[in-house]
Structure 1
Amino acid sequence: MARVRNFWNHSKTTALIWIISAILFYSVFQMAIRNSSSLDHRNPSTSSGPATDTPISNAEQRSRLYDKMAKDLDEHGATFLKHGETSQSLSLSDLFTVKGGSVTPILKAAIPPVRANVLYLSTEYSIPISEAVRSIFLPHFDKMIWFQNSTLCHFSMFHASHHIAPVPATEEEIEAEAYAVKAVAGDLCPLKIVLDRVVLTSTGVLLGCWQVISGTDPITIRAKLRSALPHAPVKQLYDAAILHTSFARVLGQPNASSSATVSELWYVEEFDVLALALNGKMKVRKFHFGCSKS
């Protein structure tokens, strides 16, 4: 019986998270559409400027990767509820603690410092997204969620050194790396991107997964950085095709107030296709459950 209750609690948690993620995706997707329209208005012609990559095969590669990521929570369950491993081979307990009813990051010195190359998302776009994420998730995870700083929203591209495979460097070598990265940036075309989907991973990371409409593709950017930084770790932290941002990290169960009781069974005649979904013509017969126990 205890096993059944645990399964039921897990199922309710997973279902709630999926519903919240779906609402978030719809909200952020609408903002992305508005931003895209605004961008088109400011830049009515895309024929001028440097030539851009053809993203067709790369886009398909990203879509397949995102499909796999979207199945992660279903296939592995909410492992973050067990405080297991999160991103970059670190556990949640390595990264966060709960003090005074709020989540606090645990800052540890990186020796040697991590040297990351990231694409920065302007606050013109990141702040509205952050506000949408916070408004949807905070009521349900007020003491068990960490939100990404909206002024530091980014897409991780390539590491010259990371904590799993550190590559020490002198100040002169670091300056040389920065100069090489600057040269790479000079060859890149601005990316016009659109939100593909929002995914909550089994490790509790809420990710925005993006597609590239035009500009230099992330696969090309990473290849250029690889050439410019020959001493970088062979094994990088992310797939070459991915273009993702972290919106938040969920650390625990949703609030008890997020639960619900269902006690009606409807028999619905839909006179329009998908009438329930599209507010079409229908006839509803409502039947209350006979059992009073939950």
Structure 2
Amino acid sequence: MATRPAVRCSPRPRSRGTAAWLLPAAALLLLVVVVLRWSPMGSYPPVSPGGAGPVPNRRAELYAKMARDLDERGAAFLRGGETSQSLTLSDLFGTADDGAVVPRLKAADPPVRANVLYLNPEFAAVISKAVKEVFRPYFDQVIWFQNTSMYHFSMFHASHHLEPIVATEDEIEAEVEAVKRVTKTVCPLKIVLDRVVLTSTGVLLGLWQVESGTDPAEIRSRLRDALPRAPQKQLYDPVLLHTSFARILGHPKLPQERSASSFDHTKFFHELVAQVNGKLHGFQATVSELWYVEEFDVLALALNGRMKVRRLHLGCGRQRNEES
């Protein structure tokens, strides 16, 4: 099997703004929290398979819980927070010569090995345009938008930061072959955007339902069987199908008609999310690729770091897979 050297997979988009260290002190601590990969399994208990009905109903139940998060916990990303990985703002972001805030990438040791479904940029560009139209006027200096060439749905980790599973090159290639065999049996997914939510940690998420194709819960089950060395504790509820659109890093610019003393941040955020949902609810897309990704930098998929990608087509029983 051909191999390729590790590369940066796409141009690095820049979130324009002042030097990162000029943000308020509370926002500095918060930034570390919101740029870390959000883990729904850590924030929401798994939906019980026993009494929750069919998978779409279980998924809807989970999404309803996630939608209530901002009301129940408030905008925690505006109040400061802690990081579980002892990272500081300067660990993650720096400032380019033109003043743009850019990721400061940190090597992942050992690399994370992730299996993700990939959303084609033709769909991602529509979503990103709508999100930027709503959020950029208020968060131009303190928001990080997901690269449209890296929109993905995390499925299953062969190794992650909570439980690193070191592998040799031969073992990695064996994992790739095992995943390839799985993808030959998986049918492309036709999905529809159920809703967009903003979490208490400042992450804007798209939550999807499946209209046809192999369900994510089944894909994860097959990957579990194919990768027996993988961490027993995975990061996501089996039925979850989500994409990160953006991460808010600080306070919004107040609308001119709003008084700072009476400003209700939670209500304001709900208004913005409602605008995005008005633009995107019911948006349909097709997913036909699964990527096996070695992330050589921390959060490489989110921060445009170094990675090695094996692009595998969903074959639905046909011999269509290829490495690229």
TM-score (norm: length of structure 1): 0.65
Aligned to 1:126: 124
Whole-angstrom distance in 2 between the partners of 1:74 and 1:94? 31
Aligned to 1:242: 240
Deviation at 1:102, TM superposition (A): 4.2
Gaps of 5+ in 2: 1-52, 260-324
Aligned to 2:76: 79
Give the aligned residue type for 1:171: E
Aligned to 2:64: 67
What number of residue pairs does the alignment pair up?
A: 205
Structure 2 contact 179–226 (Cα < 8 Å) conserved? yes
Deviation at 1:108, TM superposition (A): 1.2
- Structure 1 pair 212/140, CA: closer, same or farther in 2 (3 Å)? same
Structure 1 contact 85–203 (Cα < 8 Å) conserved? no
Alignment of 1:66-215 (within 5 A): 66-84=63-81, 93=89, 96-97=92-93, 99=95, 102-215=100-213
Give the aligned residue type for 1:70: A
Whole-angstrom distance in 1 between the partners of 2:246 and 2:121? 16
Structure 2 contact 94–104 (Cα < 8 Å) conserved? no
Give the aligned residue type for 1:97: F
Structure 1 contact 80–204 (Cα < 8 Å) conserved? yes
Structure 1 contact 103–145 (Cα < 8 Å) conserved? no
Aligned to 2:279: none
Match of 1:225, SS? helix
- Structure 1 pair 157/183, CA: closer, same or farther in 2 (3 Å)? same
Structure 1 contact 189–215 (Cα < 8 Å) conserved? yes
Report Cα offsets for 1:99-121 as digits up to 9, x if no partner.
47644323111111000000000
Give the aligned residue type for 1:67: A
Gaps of 5+ in 1: 1-55, 263-294
Alignment of 1:260-275 (within 5 A): 260-261=257-258
Structure 1 contact 59–211 (Cα < 8 Å) conserved? yes
Q: Which structure is larger by alpha-carbon Rg, 1 or 2?
A: 1
Give the aligned residue type for 2:147: N
**Equivalent pairs: percent with the same residue?**
60
Q: 1:228 and 2:226 equivalent?
A: yes
Give the aligned residue type for 2:249: L
Give the aligned residue type for 2:125: I
Deviation at 1:164, TM superposition (A): 1.1
TM-score (norm: length of structure 2): 0.59
Report Cα offsets for 1:15-69 as digits up to 9, x if no partner.
xxxxxxxxxxxxxxxxxxxxxxxxxxxxxxxxxxxxxxxxx81111110100000
Greater helix proportion:
1
